[in-house]
């Protein structure tokens, strides 16, 4: 991963997708698979200039939960703005992202999600299974520092950076393959091969090197 993945893109593409680089500090970012870490991380990035305006955006992560960039395709009144899943997934495909955390803020009132955003999340989740950019969570940021994770609240179905978790009551398929250095990266052996595993095999690794011992 380069220090600034956004910098290698054409400026017109950056402007079109409203992409912004994530902070690149000397210390590693917190574990961004955890919503309690994502909420303050996102709030710090988007607060400047948007504190009194609604915004709907997405944080793009690589397969190891490291931040690549964030996008703010919708800023202002969200009540009647047409919402498109491509505004989140197209930047993810450009940056070869493995995961996406969407978010929106509430200028006032309770931490709620409108029907239009629910509809958008369903579209993003369905499309993400095709393009390989997993939808990990959606955060609602409150005006006084509060936040709500729809993943933690079991309010919707989301993916994981490994296999997609089951939320329909059926037993989850156990992983057959696991990354030796990043235990959260797994693949069940069914369906499309996990991106991290395909990259390793393309680089010359053997499939049996990643097998989970029974």
pLDDT digits (tens, 9 = 90+) for 160-208: 765 443 434 444 456 788 888 776 677 878 777 888 888 889 999 999 8
Q: Choose among 104, 103, 105: nearest CA to 143.
A: 105
* pLDDT of the residue at 47: 64
- The better pLDDT of the pair 189, 47 is held by 189
* pLDDT of the residue at 183: 64
Q: What is the tens place of the pLDDT at every residue in 115-131?
A: 889 999 999 988 887 88
Name the CATH superfamily housing domain 5-161: Cytidine Deaminase, domain 2 (3.40.140.10)
Q: So where are the chain's domains?
A: 5-161, 162-214
Q: Is the pLDDT of residue 1 over 50?
A: no
Phi then psi for 125, rounded to 5 degrees?
-65, -45
The CATH-assigned architecture of domain 162-214 is Irregular (4.10)
- Cα 120 to Cα 31, 113, 139, 153, distances in angstroms: 26, 11, 14, 18
Q: Which of 5-14, 23-32, 66-75, 205-214 has the highest mean pLDDT?
A: 66-75
CA-to-CA distance for 132 and 183, rounded, in angstroms? 19
Averaged confidence pLDDT in the chain: 81
* pLDDT of the residue at 169: 41
| Structural tokens at position 115 | 């029907």
Q: Choose among 46, 76, 77, 49: nearest CA to 59.
A: 46
Q: Is the pLDDT of residue 50 over 60?
A: no
Instruction: Name, in order, each residue with C-beta under 8 angstroms of 35's C-beta and a sequence gap of 6 or more.
Output: 137, 139, 147, 149, 151, 152
CA-to-CA distance for 164 and 125, rounded, in angstroms? 11
Q: What is the pTM of this model?
A: 0.71
């Amino acid at each position: 991963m380069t220090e600034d993945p956004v910098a290698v893109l054409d400026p017109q593409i950056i402007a079109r997708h409203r992409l912004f680089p994530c902070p690149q500090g000397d210390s590693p970012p917190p574990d961004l698979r955890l919503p309690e870490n994502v909420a303050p991380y996102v709030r710090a990035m988007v607060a400047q200039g948007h504190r009194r305006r609604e915004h709907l955006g997405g944080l793009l992560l690589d397969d190891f939960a490291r931040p690549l960039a964030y996008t703010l395709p919708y800023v202002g009144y969200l009540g009647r703005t047409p919402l498109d899943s491509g505004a989140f997934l197209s930047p993810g495909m450009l940056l070869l992202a493995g995961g996406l955390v969407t978010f929106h803020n509430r200028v006032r009132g309770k931490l709620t999600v409108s029907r239009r955003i629910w509809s958008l999340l369903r579209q993003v989740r369905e499309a993400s299974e095709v393009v390989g950019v997993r939808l990990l969570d959606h955060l609602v940021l409150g005006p006084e520092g509060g936040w709500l994770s729809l993943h933690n609240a079991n309010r919707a179905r989301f993916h994981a950076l490994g296999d997609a978790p089951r939320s329909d009551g059926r037993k989850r398929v156990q992983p057959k393959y696991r990354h030796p250095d990043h235990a959260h990266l797994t693949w069940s052996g069914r369906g499309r091969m996990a991106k991290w595993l395909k990259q390793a095999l393309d680089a010359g690794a053997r499939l049996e090197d990643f097998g989970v011992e029974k």
